[in-house]
Amino acid sequence: KLLQRCSSPTDVLDLLDSYKLSLSLVSSCLTCMWQTTKKMSEDQRRYEKKLMLEHPRFEQLCSRVMQEVRQMRPGDLVYSLLAVVKLGVSPRTRLVQTLLRASQERLNTFDEKSLAVLISSLEEMESCKNVDALKAGLRLLVELRMPQIKSVAALQTMMRCIGRDAPLSLKKKMEGKALSLLDQFTLPNSQYMFSTLAAMNFRSAPLLDACSNKIIENIHGIPFWRLVFVLRSCRDLPYRNHLLFHAVGDYVTSMIDVWQNKQIVLFLILFKDLGFLHAGLMDAFSEKVIGDPQSLILKDVQAVLRVYSHLNYLPGQRSQQFLEAVRSVFESYLSKILPVDLLQATYFFCLLDYFPQDSLDRLLQEHTLNELLTTGKISRSGEMLHYVSLCLELDNPLPDRPRSLVLGRPPLPSLRINPMIQRALQAILGDGPFREGVQLQNGYHIDFEIVLDKERRNIISESQGEDPTDNTLFQRVAVLSAPAAAFCFATTHPKGKLAMKRRHLSALGYHTILVPEQEFENLSEEQRIEFLTTNIFVTHDAMSADENFRNHW
């Protein structure tokens, strides 16, 4: 009862002056000292830790633990270890190392609960000889006890215990055991399985699919942070499930007027990391921004720009109002913002084909450019400045600005030629009438270039003596091979940089054909030829190529 009244570690230590503690109470004191710090701020926690280390009774308590450690019950032993780790006692101290060695010696006597507490302690600790030895022993113990495990929660604790460094054979045994207990999985078990597999660095599609189905069925009963952890685990594994992401997106959209902006933004960032475009959520959040832009802080604006530009998405008829709202909030911070943050935001605006005047004027000041190109991550700054420069030239939003403006350096080009596209083009055109690996002066790389007449019915070759660069007479076609990562998940919707490249090639007079590599592989040779033939020789708008590909796929 006295311990329950303590509000800080020093309160607990003060009690030691008046009471002679049993071994179980020694463990309780340590645990209570840790528990009292959990609700403190970081600064207060540091201050209380300093007072604790300076308290005359703390050293006595630690000495008592080390003297009596072999007489402690297993539960007291592991809770004492967890408490001192959570209190920030250095893992290199004699106290922690003594508790680790005692845990090694008595590992076989630990029940499932004690093992769970021990695992929680080890997750907080850096690698050292005793920690590594204890983890190795735990893996052997888990493998021996696996047939006796009947609780899903205990199994998940064991799975986390073996860690990402465990042999693949052991991870597969754990997967098999979990699949045998699927009918016992509760909703919390299903949520926890995602982070458990992420901790193991083991992507088990059958387990994740089963847990996803249970989460989808009960999506409205899952707390905010649990959904966040599920998506983070999907990102880390990596695991992609369109139905799960869509269900989470629908639920977040339904909560958009209930949750705070920072909560919605966190989900937008996670979807960006997963490459998933949920148009309903992004439309709903853009309406919220348009209605009350001042509810956003600078951090929110930076995240929103990153997400919408990366996923290449704007809210239809309201895109201009949305961009104006975001611009107004961002430019209200111009006097305080760092050059690198100014560059990033301007770059994201340019990806969205929007050019905020005040931000550009500040970015293009000589002292700002000098700082960007001489400090920090110079190569990354140079690449973003290069694309800003290209947008100012090719999208041409400011006619009075010199078209010769050149900033930064282009990224190194990709010179890989896709052999499947190459074979299909050879089957359609023969060996001569197209070029491979064309490098433009502005830094863009084109996988294959074909020159046709203006009606796009006949191929023009160099042997005909014509000038194929005359855009009034000829139509140049650029065939771009794009990996799955360049498109939003489960779609042929290009992400920001690829969409900008297509836009810029169009400004240079090219008709661009995007070929998603992964889906193109799944087509037969005849379907590949038909797809490319239709897109090269038949005039259509930009989106019909995507629709045509989906029909083939």
- Run of H or E residues at 469: none
Antiparallel, parallel or unpaired: β 474-482 and 510-516: parallel
CA distances from 531 to 193, 506, 546 (A): 42, 20, 10
| Pairwise CA distance, residues 54 & 250, whole Å | 53
Q: How wide is the angle at C-alpha 229 spanned by C-alphas 228 and 235, nearest 5°?
A: 90
CA distances from 482 to 88, 485, 498 (A): 49, 8, 8
Q: What is the 3-state secondary structure (H, E, C) of 134-173?
A: HHHHHHHHHHHHHHHCCCHHHHHHHHHHHCCCCCHHHHHH
Q: What is the 3-state secondary structure (H, E, C) of 280-328?
A: HHHHHHHHHHHHCHHHCCHHHHHHHHHHHHHCCCCCHHHHHHHHHHHHH
Q: Which strands sit side by side in the sheet containing 445-453, from one edge to the other?
A: 434-439, 445-453, 474-482, 510-516
Would you state the structure tokens that stand for residue 238, as one six-digit string?
Answer: 């990596």
Nearest 5°: phi and psi at 60? -65, -40
> Along the 553 residues of the chain, how does pLDDT read in single tens digits?
777 778 888 888 887 765 566 667 788 888 888 888 888 888 998 898 899 988 888 888 888 889 888 889 999 999 999 999 999 888 889 999 999 999 999 999 998 888 888 988 888 888 889 998 998 898 888 888 888 888 898 899 888 877 788 889 999 999 999 999 999 999 999 999 999 999 999 999 999 999 999 999 999 989 999 999 999 999 999 999 999 999 999 999 999 999 999 999 999 999 999 999 999 999 999 999 999 999 999 999 999 999 999 999 999 889 999 999 999 999 999 999 999 999 999 999 999 999 999 999 999 999 999 999 888 888 889 999 999 999 998 986 555 554 445 566 777 766 778 999 999 999 998 876 889 999 998 889 999 999 998 888 888 875 554 555 556 678 999 999 999 999 999 999 999 999 999 999 999 999 999 999 999 999 999 999 999 999 999 644 444 445 554 444 4
By the 8 A CB rule, do 13 and 58 touch? Answer: yes
**Which residue do the tokens 């052991």 mark?**
170
| Pairwise CA distance, residues 73 & 24, whole Å | 8
Nearest 5°: phi and psi at 304? -60, -45
Q: What is the pTM of this model?
A: 0.85
Would you state the structure tokens that stand for residue 208, as one six-digit string?
Answer: 């994740």
Please give the distance of CA 367 from its chain centroid, rounded to a whole number.
34
All structural domains of the chain: 1-148 (no CATH), 347-411 (no CATH), 419-552 (3.40.960)
- Burial bucket for residue 347 (CB in 10 Å: 0-12, 13-18, 19+): buried
By the 8 A CB rule, do 157 and 115 touch? Answer: yes
Would you state the structure tokens that stand for residue 340, as one six-digit string?
Answer: 């690198």
**Which residue do the tokens 């996803």 mark?**
212
By the 8 A CB rule, do 155 and 147 touch? Answer: no
| Pairwise CA distance, residues 128 & 225, whole Å | 32
